[in-house]
Amino acid sequence: MSLNPIMTPRRYVTLVVITVISLHYFLSRSNMDYGQLSSISTLKEQFHPPSPSSKNTTTITAAIETYTSPTASQPTHNAPPPSQGHRANATFVFLCRNNDINGAVASVQSMEDRFNRNYHYPWVFLNDEPFTEEFKQRIGVLTDAPVSFGLIPREHWVQPDWIDEERARQGRLKMMNQRIIYGGSVPYRNMCRFNSGFFYKHELLQQYRYYWRVEPSVQFFCGLNYDPFLYMEEHEKVYSFTISLEEHEPTVRTLWDSVKEFMFENPHLIEPGNSMDFLSNDGGNKYNMCHYWSNFEIADMDFWRGPAYTKFFDFLEAKGGFYYERWGDAPIHSIAASLLANKEKIHFFRDIGYRHESFQHCPSGNQWKEGRCACDPNDSFDYSDHSCLKRFEGLFQ
């Protein structure tokens, strides 16, 4: 090929470069889509889809996502969460021992990865013994959120002096013979009583209203693109759960009689729109053992601190059933929330995938997909034989 004598190879290359740059500039100014398709930011968006508010990129990003991710049809999933906006007055609460450290690390890591790394809600760790430096270091390294470590006052933890120890011992022996889990354990009873009526009195929790209880070795399966604490606040919920099930009857043999006595003496404290039908199949005569599994709880501490629950807890405490039997904090909290609060104030977090051995709740359908849940949707306790979810749902039908 021959070139024009004044068109030297060098001038030819210069002309081509100038033409390409001019064309690119013209198209960028006149057509937004072209400009964005050719920019580096679009490559980034393949991995971090934009929030719905960035309207100009929606069409192109949606097209690219089809190739990059099978779940990309939910553009809000990876949208930046509203961590800068309004936050609830809330904290995580984690009661454990120093030797629970490995399980505690696993639980905190799971919560941080799936929710809190974007929200930075504080963590409060509580223990009946001082936490070791090693414990504090291994937890502190997992999060940017504030972490505090508290010692439980002795009077909030140990078996009170007025408990008849001989009677309590007979109760423990009986339960050991029946092979009831933790039937012979006093520390387990201390823990149940503390979780029922004392944790929200701890000085480190005084400044907070909502809490999310976390235990060692639990798993949170799904990413959350909203704030459950704010959900509780905005919908005026006082208690929430992911798993509900039946209690071991021998651990709460006289609990319902005590509850009935309380209801008889304090009818004004029983909420008219309560959820008695969650607790009883015969209108309140007999307890059906249903309760919310309290190792997961997001709840309102002002409800526990209020006059109705205070009176309820004090009444049950005086019966001694935390030590003579083995009343768990799960039935205590569940019965209180069911009778002292309107049923509309209790929430099932269907979209929060959660496991505490030996049961799990795994969301299904769109919630499973949108949450990118790391659990098998066919493995969920929801409608198993001993689940009480059907009874909860029945309250609203």
Ligand X SMILES: Nc1nc2c(ncn2[C@@H]2O[C@H](COP(=O)(O)OP(=O)(O)OP(=O)(O)O)[C@@H](O)[C@H]2O)c(=O)[nH]1
CA dihedral 324, 325, 331, 332 (to 10 degrees): 0
Identify whether 271 is a catalytic site residue.
no
Characterize the bridge pairing of strands 244-246 and 290-292.
antiparallel
- What number of CA atoms fall less than 13 Å from residue 240's CA on the CB side? 22
Options 64, 88, 95, 279; binder of ligand X; rule CB under 6 A: 95
Residue 138, both tokens: 């291994």
Residue 301 contacts ligand X per CB under 6 A: no
DSSP H or E stretch at residue 304: helix 301-305
- Which residue's CB is nearer to ligand X, number 215 or number 344? 215
Cis peptide before 38 (omega within 30 of 0): no
Of 127, 125, 153, 151, the closest CA to residue 139 belongs to: 125
Considering only residues 355 to 384 of the shown chain, the ones binding ligand X according to CB under 6 A are: 357
- Does position 340 interact with ligand X (CB under 6 A)? The reply is no
Cα separation, 163 vs 160, in Å, equals 6
Residue 61 binding target from Mg ion, ligand X, none, CB below 5 to 8 Å by type: none
Tokens of 253: 């043999």
Please state the closest distance from residue 221 (CB atom) to ligand X, in A. 18
Q: Which does 335 bind (CB under 5 to 8 A by kind): Mg ion, ligand X, none?
A: none
- Pick one of 61, 225, 275, 295: the residue that binds ligand X (CB under 6 A): 295
Residue 246 binds what, of ligand X, Mg ion, none (CB under 5 to 8 Å, by partner type)? none
Among residues 88, 93, 96, 308, the one that binds ligand X under rule CB under 6 A: 96
100 binds, among ligand X, Mg ion, none (CB under 5 to 8 A by kind): ligand X
Q: Which of 105, 158, 163, 215 binds ligand X (CB under 6 A)?
A: 215
CB of 163 to ligand X, least distance (A): 17
Distance of CA 364 to the CA centre of its chain: 17
Q: How many residues bind ligand X (CB under 6 A)?
A: 13
Q: Count Cα neighbours of 243 within 13 Å in the Cβ-side half-sphere.
A: 25
The H-assigned helical ranges of 329-370 are: 329-340, 365-370
From 67-75, 115-123, 137-145, 187-195, give the range in contact with ligand X by CB under 6 A: 187-195
- 251 close to 188: Cβ distance less than 8 angstroms: no
**Which of Mg ion, ligand X, none does residue 116 bind to, with CB < 5 to 8 Å depending on kind?**
none
CB of 295 to Mg ion, least distance (A): 5
Catalytic choice (65, 233, 247, 297)? 297
- The residue assigned the tokens 């387990």 is 188
| Shortest reach from residue 257's CB to ligand X, in Å | 24
For ligand X, the closer CB: 214 or 308: 214
Q: Which residue in 173, 113, 188, 167 sits closest to 144, CA to CA? A: 113
Name the residue with tokens 């033409």: 19
**H helix and E strand count, the chain:** 17, 12
**Bridge partners, 127 (sequence order):** 151
> Which positions lie near Mg ion, rule CB under 5 A?
215, 295
Nearer to ligand X, 345 or 356 (CB): 356
128 versus 344: smaller Cβ distance to ligand X: 128
Instruction: Find the shortest distance in angstroms from Cβ 127 to ligand X.
Output: 4
Helix (H, G, I), strand (E, B) or coil at 276: helix
Cα 9 from Cα 213, distance rounded (Å): 74
Question: Closer CB to ligand X, residue 215 or residue 302?
Answer: 215
From the list ligand X, Mg ion, none, pick the one residue 136 interacts with, judged by a Cβ distance below 5 to 8 Å according to partner type. Answer: none
**Is the CB of residue 388 less than 8 Å from the CB of residue 348?**
no
CB of 364 to Mg ion, least distance (A): 25
97 touches ligand X (CB under 6 A) = yes
Question: Quick check: 71 and 103 in contact, CB under 8 A?
Answer: no
Partner in contact with 127, chosen from Mg ion, ligand X, none, beta carbon below 5 to 8 Å by kind: ligand X
3-class DSSP state of 82: coil
Considering only residues 171, 197, 216, 371, which one is a binding residue for ligand X as defined by CB under 6 A? Answer: 216
Binding site for ligand X (CB under 6 A): 95-97, 100, 127-128, 187-188, 191, 215-216, 295, 357
Known catalytic residues are 297
